[in-house]
Amino acid sequence: MIRALRTGTFHLGMGLLSLLWLAPILWVVIMSTRTFDDIAANGVGSLPHSFTLDTYSQAWTDGGELRALINSMLVTVPSVALSLVLAALAAFALSRYRIPGRRTILLLMLAGNLLPPQILLIPVSKFSELTGTFDTLYALIAVQVGFGLGFYTFVLHGFMRDLPNEIQEAATIDGAGPGQIFARVILPLTRPALAALGALSFTWIFNDLLWAITVLRTDDNMPVTPALLALQGQFVSSWNVIAAGTVIAAVPTLLVFLRFQRHFVSGLAIGAVK
Amino acid sequence: MTSVDERVLAAQPPAPANTRPRRRRGKPLSPLLVAFVLVPFAVESIWVFWPALQGFWFSLTRWDGLEPPTYIGFDNYAELAGDATFRGALINTVLWLVLFGGLSVIGGFGMALILQRERRGVGFYRAALFTPVVFSLVVTALVWRVFYQPDGVADELLRAVGLEHLIRPWLADPETALYAVILPALWRQIGYVMVLYLAGLKAIDPALHEAAKMDGANNWQRLRNVTIPQLKGVNAVVLSVIVIDSLRSFDIVWSLTKGGPYHSSELLSTYMYSTAFQSLRLGYASAIAVVIFVLALAVILGYLVRAFREDA
């Protein structure tokens, strides 16, 4: 009896809290389907009196979200792939071989990732001007890879170090070199960690604002996050279009999250128990 | 499935000194392996280490980004000492650290305790609290903008409970702007901290709780004497995450208020950005960045030193 009551209180309390937590998101989704006249007449806080999906086409084409989404993918996919490949190579050599100074190198790489990015903004923007990559997606990819590498290497190192030694020894006896051992033995075993980091870094890079507005200038080059801010200036008080733009910008990371939920969460937790 | 997850969770920091020897004695290091380390290290050096050093150097210069920088020693830092906007931003950053950091730890830890036991519905509740983590802070900001609009959700709610005299332009009122920005940041951070603590709680050996129960410890005693001491490692990570996140916090403030009105929600990071890229005072902005760096280092080192002392 008391137990049933406690279970009931738990579900009631958590149910309400969950609803409260999701309410802002639901509100924006609802708002994206209201007409401008409805919002003008009843205010943004009111319940909907209309339904339309024109807002999405407005945000998509007039608001430039299509272009922005393409830019985001052009930056995010290569950045994730490149960082993971480079980090895996470094982690492999540092964890499976006696590289002189390997601990120092690893900690230095991690420390680089812990630096506040503010100290890098001005030099990085100047450096991209110097190399002629300023205002190109290449600059953004390069800085995303450079800045993320330390953390990815650190996590993959921890993972690879714990793999059993015997398989590698067997491969060595069979005459495999480090390159083959990496590609055929260690990398396949590292897949869970790679999936976790991949899901995580996808959202980090896709959601980034600061680096994008530091190395990019032209609106046509902007990824989704800064484009969403620009949309606000362009559609002042068209709250339904801004809401539709917000929903569009949230969908890719939400999809990655739903698809890789388990990896995503374990990836975040890597930080906790490391 | 779980075994793999556990292995990810158990990713450990570098083992002290004795990484297992793999290279046979006398055999030269393969150039391929050297390249495996050097290429990523070079990439990070070009985009992180070298710029960081330059950042320190720029903070000692006056520079508008067009003319070459002129060395002026510590003049920028002297100017910072008398800059009221900087002082305001510093106070706001500390407030942000305490409020945003403190409340997200309390909220995240509380939620983790409530939701740690596997039972029906718990997955849904965790996912609900966790969903905002997936969105960018810009998306979060826009979601909450609807909430704060004049006649928006916040105002309607206050009206519904008869508190309309409290209604104000939440983001445009210097009295409330900073707190109006902290709230959405918390909304997103609590789920993140919860995940970190859930992982930490899962890693505690259940035998410890069993033993405490046998000794007649109640829930509160077990929380104080078993759970919390066992979470020391997680606490260190959470603290670092919070400090770093607080000092980096930029997106949410930039999207909601740009530090205004009248710098009332200005953080060091937003002040640094506008000084650099809007006022084009690159040397002065670099000095603010160095201050951010020193603060991050001080808090983290301070914590680590204390943690080590407790161990000794």
- Domains of chain A and any CATH numbers: 54-271 (1.10.3720.10)
Which of the pair, B2 or B233, is modelled with greater confidence? B233
Nearest CB to B48 within list A15, A147, A161: A147
Tell me: the pLDDT tens digits for B239-275?
888 888 888 899 999 999 998 799 999 999 999 999 9
List, in order of start, the domains of chain B with CATH numbers.
84-311 (1.10.3720.10)
The pLDDT assigned to B225 comes to 85
A18 to B251: CB separation less than 8 angstroms, yes or no: no
Evaluate if residue B9 carries a pLDDT over 50: no
Q: Closest-CA residue in chain A for B269?
A: A118
DSSP string, B94-105: HHHIIIIIHHHH
Task: With cut-offs at 50, 70 and 90, classify the pLDDT of residue B155.
Answer: confident
With contacts defined as CB-CB under 8 Å, which chain B residues touch A93?
33-34, 36-37
User: Averaged over B117-126, what is the pLDDT?
Assistant: 88
Q: What angle do CA A32, A36, A42 make, to 5 degrees?
A: 95
The pLDDT assigned to A2 comes to 80
Mean pLDDT, all residues of chain B: 85
Which of the pair, A78 or A175, is modelled with greater confidence? A78
Evaluate if residue B11 carries a pLDDT over 70: no
**In whole angstroms, what is the distance from residue B133 CA to residue A204 CA?**
10
With contacts defined as CB-CB under 8 Å, which chain A residues touch B155?
45
A269 to B9: CB separation less than 8 angstroms, yes or no: yes
The pLDDT assigned to B311 comes to 58
DSSP string, B247-272: HH--HHHHHHTTT-STTTT--HHHHH
Q: What percent of chain B has pLDDT over 90?
A: 45
Evaluate if residue A171 carries a pLDDT over 90: no
With contacts defined as CB-CB under 8 Å, which chain A residues touch B193?
none
Determine the residue among B96, B140, B143, B266 to mutate to test chain A binding: the one whose Cβ has the most chain A Cβ atoms within 10 Å.
B143
A18 to B199: CB separation less than 8 angstroms, yes or no: no
CA dist B260 → A201, A223, B98, B180 (Å): 31, 25, 20, 12
**In whole angstroms, what is the distance from residue A135 CA to residue B169 CA?**
36
User: Averaged over A172-194, what is the pLDDT?
Assistant: 90
Task: With cut-offs at 50, 70 and 90, classify the pLDDT of residue B27.
Answer: low
Evaluate if residue B202 carries a pLDDT over 90: no
The pLDDT assigned to B5 comes to 39
The pLDDT assigned to B145 comes to 86
Size of interface A-B (CB pairs under 8 A): 330
Mean pLDDT, all residues of chain A: 89
Tell me: the pLDDT tens digits for A55-77?
999 899 888 899 999 999 999 99
Task: With cut-offs at 50, 70 and 90, classify the pLDDT of residue B210.
Answer: confident
DSSP 3-state assignment of B74?
coil
CA dist A50 → A38, A54, A243 (Å): 6, 12, 15
The pLDDT assigned to A66 comes to 92
For chain B, the helix, strand and coil percentages under 3-state DSSP, each to the nearest 5: 70, 0, 30
Q: What are B71's strand-pairing partners?
A: B61
B13 to A274: CB separation less than 8 angstroms, yes or no: yes
A178 contacts B33 by C-beta, under 8 angstroms: yes
Evaluate if residue B217 carries a pLDDT over 60: yes
DSSP 3-state assignment of B312?
coil
A250 contacts A232 by C-beta, under 8 angstroms: no
Task: With cut-offs at 50, 70 and 90, classify the pLDDT of residue B283.
Answer: very high
